[in-house]
């Protein structure tokens, strides 16, 4: 078999040796005789300093050198410099690929075509001047030019191709011309020395991962024409501290800021409606974040592993909390779930070990698998009757959980749901529960009292196993639930008392494991389902002595307020000092209660005639009167206006909807406006836009 192969190689050698037409001064050429043109041909012999002339003469005929063929200098590791004379218009693909010793290249102004990978992995190339005749930088042109420190993209370039400057690890700066409209996938990926970048307004298209792994990048500015920030744009830019968003941006793609460890603050504009999967995962510098109400969707694991995130304000437009949304956010102390959310999905709050309380609103119908698993400091949970499904392991490993209220909407307690909740002392399962799956309450070592509702039909293996302190079990099911001997394994029920309905005692006494209880007693009546949680009263907003005051008829309620002015963020508490004009919303909340309806108000200042008497030089202080505007069911309530002041309500198209005169500093004006519509309130010369709530 070796002999034919050798003959084949020998036959091939002449064709390899004649892969060019002529050699002149150490440079090999192919000739296009009819056009009197020549192209530089490939050879592995190029080394040292090379000058490519404008013309060559062969057999008395002059040829114009117009191009460098593909792979012409491929793997010429001893090539140190190249000067390309005027007249050359094209450099073929991968022409200088892996010329690892190439330090300098002079490109002619005549050059119009620079094909893909032309200088791929020229590791010693430290600078390059791109001619103005180039209008497109093809993909991988300067890929892995590890010594390239800076580059200026000239005005004629419109496109920067995929991976164009990827792995240019020494690049400190890049100047992108206003002519550039498109930047390809990972064009500047892994440019680890790049500290900042400003993209021109001309850019309308960006590929995925353009600046990913630019570990020294500190700041970035996005052009207004970028509607979607592509996937992984700034992924692992570990020193990135700030990003200037465009107000036109609508979506943040997957992993855009993932593992940007120095990102301490992010101002998401109100134009954003979608945040992608893992968009901020691993952003350990983030301590708080506000998601504007424009956002309707947040992707999977969007904030996972943000280990220093202590508070977050979620958009009221969300309808679900996605898989792993706050996965392992170990510093997150509280979470306010918006009232529109219907589903809390798999592992949404997994390992949020600082989470002490969570208010599950009555809109929620399902809680996913391991949604709150390993929330070690979670103390109380109230599950409203709207919840029909609780996923497997939803609260497993919540070691400090002392109180759980399960309302009457749940029919199945899935496997491992409350496993190893070692501080739980009492469980009352409502009559709606028909099935308790295996290991559902296994390892609840502090559990003393257990109540099983009348609807129970099956109890899985070791469902109440290793509940070592269990002393009393109340089972209201007249028909003995189906189970096997392991249901109470390790719970020492031989020292416990079982209470069952009258007339069913003999059935339990003759069925294992129920017959293993120390004694069985009868009970009368039925197991009452736990009462529905009360709802906090809607709070009242007042303005007194330069401060907002919130009050509520529900005793002991706390307040969560939001003020849209940029100088005041969301605040917990019943008092806020003010210095500007504000739109205010506030909600009352209390453990064991549903959150109140949201109260809204607009606070503004109406100018009063300034005092000028006795003032000669200087600026006159303009006195102002604080006015509070609140809207409820189409009625506009104004307090703080001057006595007998004219007040008018207009629609946004200028139609007058109602008028009134203030009496004792207040006025109530009815309108036909519906909830969610806008109105203009004119108080004297002051006009304020309000939303009908």
The pLDDT value given to residue 529: 55
Q: Are 56 and 38 in contact (CB under 8 A)?
A: yes
- Rounded to whole angstroms, the Cα distance separating 92 from 116 reads 8
* Range in 181-185, 488-492, 598-602, 658-662 with the lowest mean pLDDT: 598-602
- Rounded to whole angstroms, the Cα distance separating 202 from 191 reads 22
Judge whether residue 579 has pLDDT over 70: no
Cβ-based neighbours of 7, under 8 Å, separated by 6 or more: none
The pLDDT value given to residue 525: 66
What is the SS3 assignment for 434-448? CEECCCCCCCCCCCC
Q: How many CA atoms lie within 13 A of 8 on its CB side?
A: 5
Q: Are residues 505 and 640 in the same domain?
A: no
- Rounded to whole angstroms, the Cα distance separating 4 from 9 reads 9
Cβ-based neighbours of 15, under 8 Å, separated by 6 or more: none
Q: What is the pTM of this model?
A: 0.72
The pLDDT value given to residue 15: 37
The pLDDT value given to residue 472: 96
Q: Are 283 and 306 in contact (CB under 8 A)?
A: yes
H or E element that contains 3: helix 2-17
Residue 110 within any structural domain of the chain: yes
Q: Are residues 578 and 598 in the same domain?
A: yes
Residue 570 within any structural domain of the chain: yes
Judge whether residue 3 has pLDDT over 50: no
The pLDDT value given to residue 528: 57
User: How far from chain centre, in Å, is Cα 430?
Assistant: 37
**Assigned token pair, 5:** 């192969």
- Return the residue matching tokens 């003020």: 563
Residue 61 within any structural domain of the chain: yes
Q: Are residues 514 and 542 in the same domain?
A: no
Which residues are registered as beta bridge partners of 577? 547
Strand order in the sheet with 540-544: 540-544, 547-551, 575-577
Average pLDDT over residues 563-575: 54
Domain that includes residue 296, residue range: 250-261+270-319+330-347+358-370
**Assigned token pair, 621:** 């202080």
Q: Are 310 and 287 in contact (CB under 8 A)?
A: yes
**Assigned token pair, 515:** 């017959």
The pLDDT value given to residue 615: 40
Which residues are registered as beta bridge partners of 63? 56
- Rounded to whole angstroms, the Cα distance separating 638 from 649 reads 11
Domain endpoint, select from 471, 505, 532: 532
Judge whether residue 619 has pLDDT over 60: no
- Return the residue matching tokens 């052009």: 223
Residue 96 within any structural domain of the chain: yes
Q: Are residues 512 and 653 in the same domain?
A: no
- Rounded to whole angstroms, the Cα distance separating 176 from 200 reads 7
The pLDDT value given to residue 581: 65
- Rounded to whole angstroms, the Cα distance separating 601 from 632 reads 10
Residue 104 within any structural domain of the chain: yes
Q: Are residues 686 and 567 in the same domain?
A: yes
CA angle 71, 77, 83 (to 5 degrees): 70
Cα torsion at 421, 427, 429, 435 (round to 10°)? Answer: 40
Domain endpoint, select from 489, 505, 532: 532
Q: Are residues 195 and 257 in the same domain?
A: no
User: What is the tally of structural domains in the chain?
Assistant: 5
Which residues are registered as beta bridge partners of 601? 584
pLDDT tens figures, 259-285? 999 999 888 999 999 999 999 999 999
N- to C-terminal Cα distance for the chain?
88
Q: Are residues 386 and 314 in the same domain?
A: no
Q: Are residues 567 and 669 in the same domain?
A: yes
Residue 1 within any structural domain of the chain: no
Q: Are 519 and 498 in contact (CB under 8 A)?
A: yes
Q: Where residue 115 sits, what CATH number does that domain have?
A: 3.80.10.10
The pLDDT value given to residue 664: 75
Question: What does each C-alpha distance from 343 to 177, 327, 427, 436 come to in angstroms?
Answer: 47, 16, 24, 22
DSSP per position, 19-64: SSSEEETTEEEEEETTTTEEEEPP-S---EEEEE-SEEEETTEEEE
Confidence of residue 592 (pLDDT cuts 50, 70, 90): low
Q: Could you give the percent of the chain with pLDDT greater than 90?
A: 64
pLDDT tens figures, 113-162? 999 999 999 999 999 999 999 999 999 999 999 999 989 999 999 999 99
Residue 491 within any structural domain of the chain: yes
Q: Are residues 240 and 254 in the same domain?
A: no
- Rounded to whole angstroms, the Cα distance separating 9 from 422 reads 77
> Which of 71, 62, 17, 4 has its CA nearest to residue 35?
62
Q: Are residues 339 and 420 in the same domain?
A: no
Averaged confidence pLDDT in the chain: 87
Exposure string for 62-73, b = 16+ CB within 10 A, e = fewer = ebbbbbbbbbbb
Residue 606 within any structural domain of the chain: yes
On the question of a cis peptide bond just before residue 513, with omega within 30 degrees of 0, the verdict is yes
H or E element that contains 646: strand 646-650
Q: Are residues 422 and 493 in the same domain?
A: yes
Q: Are residues 541 and 685 in the same domain?
A: yes
The pLDDT value given to residue 11: 37
* Range in 79-88, 371-380, 598-607 with the lowest mean pLDDT: 598-607
Question: What does each C-alpha distance from 119 to 66, 137, 186, 377, 537 come to in angstroms?
Answer: 18, 11, 17, 57, 70
- Rounded to whole angstroms, the Cα distance separating 355 from 98 reads 54
Helices (H), 73-176: none
- Rounded to whole angstroms, the Cα distance separating 326 from 352 reads 7
């Amino acid at each position: 078999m070796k002999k034919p192969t050798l003959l084949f190689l020998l036959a091939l050698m002449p064709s390899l040796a004649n892969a060019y037409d002529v050699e002149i001064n150490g440079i090999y050429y192919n000739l296009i005789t009819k056009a009197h043109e020549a192209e530089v041909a490939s050879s592995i012999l190029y080394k040292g300093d090379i000058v490519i002339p404008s013309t060559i003469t062969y057999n008395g005929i002059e040829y114009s050198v117009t191009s460098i063929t593909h792979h012409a200098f491929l793997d010429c590791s001893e090539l140190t410099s190249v000067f390309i004379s005027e007249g050359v218009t094209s450099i073929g693909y991968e022409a200088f690929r892996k010329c690892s010793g190439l330090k300098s290249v002079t490109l002619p102004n005549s050059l119009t075509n620079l094909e893909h990978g032309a200088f791929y992995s020229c590791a010693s190339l430290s600078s390059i001047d791109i001619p103005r005749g180039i209008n497109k930088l093809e993909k991988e042109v300067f890929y892995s030019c590890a010594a390239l420190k800076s580059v200026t993209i000239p005005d004629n370039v419109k496109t920067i191709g995929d991976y164009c400057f990827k792995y240019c690890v020494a690049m400190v700066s890049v100047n992108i011309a206003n002519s550039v409209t498109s930047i390809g996938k990972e064009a500047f990926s892994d440019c680890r020395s790049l500290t900042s970048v400003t993209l021109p307004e001309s850019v309308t298209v960006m590929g995925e991962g353009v600046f990913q792994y630019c570990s020294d990048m500190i700041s970035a500015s996005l052009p207004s024409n970028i509607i979607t920030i592509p996937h992984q744009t700034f992924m692992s830019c570990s020193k990135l501290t700030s990003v200037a968003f465009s107000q036109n941006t609508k979506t943040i793609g997957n992993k855009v800021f993932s593992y940007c460890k120095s990102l301490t603050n992010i101002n998401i504009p109100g134009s954003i409606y979608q945040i992608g999967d893992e968009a901020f995962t691993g952003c350990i510098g983030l301590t708080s974040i506000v998601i504007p109400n424009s956002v309707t969707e947040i992707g999977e694991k969007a904030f996972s592993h943000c280990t220093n995130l202590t508070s977050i304000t979620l958009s009221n437009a969300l309808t679900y909390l996605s898989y792993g949304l706050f996965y392992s956010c170990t510093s997150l102390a509280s979470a306010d779930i918006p009232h529109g959310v219907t589903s809390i999905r798999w592992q949404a709050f997994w390992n949020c070990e600082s989470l002490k309380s969570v208010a599950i609103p009555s809109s929620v119908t399902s809680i996913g698998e391991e949604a709150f698993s390993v929330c070690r400091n979670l103390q109380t949970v109230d599950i409203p009757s709207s919840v029909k499904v609780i996923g497997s392991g939803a609260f497993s490993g919540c070691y400090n959980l002392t109180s759980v209220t399960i309302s009457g909407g749940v029919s199945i307690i899935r496997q491992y749901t409350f496993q190893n909740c070692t501080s739980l002392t009492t469980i009352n399962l409502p009559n709606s529960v028909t099935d308790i799956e295996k290991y559902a309450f296994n390892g609840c070592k502090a559990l003393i009292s257990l109540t099983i509702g009348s609807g129970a039909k099956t109890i899985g293996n070791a469902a109440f196993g290793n509940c070592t302190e269990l002393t009393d079990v109340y089972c209201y099911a007249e028909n003995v639930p189906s189970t096997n001997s392991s249901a109470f394994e390790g719970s020492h029920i031989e020292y416990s008392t079982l209470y069952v309905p009258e007339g069913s005692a003999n059935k339990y006494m003759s069925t294992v494991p129920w017959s293993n209880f120390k004694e069985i007693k009868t009970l009368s009546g039925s197991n009452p389902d736990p009462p529905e949680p009360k709802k906090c009263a809607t709070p009242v907003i007042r303005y007194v002595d330069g401060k907002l005051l919130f009050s509520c008829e529900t005793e002991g309620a706390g307040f969560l307020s939001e003020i849209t002015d940029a100088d005041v963020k969301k605040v917990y508490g019943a008092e806020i000092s003010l210095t500007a004009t504000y739109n205010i919303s506030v909600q009352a909340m209390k453990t064991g209660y549903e959150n109140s309806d949201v109260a809204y108000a607009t606070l503004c200042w109406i100018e009063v005639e300034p005092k000028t008497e006795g003032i000669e030089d200087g600026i006159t202080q303009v006195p102002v009167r604080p006015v509070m505007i609140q809207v409820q069911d189409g009625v506009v309530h104004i307090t703080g206006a001057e006595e007998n002041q004219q007040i008018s309500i207009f629609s946004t198209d200028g139609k007058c909807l109602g008028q009134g005169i203030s009496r004792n500093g207040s006025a109530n004006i009815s309108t036909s406006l519906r909830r969610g519509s806008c109105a203009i309130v004119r108080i004297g010369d002051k006009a304020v836009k309000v939303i009908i709530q």
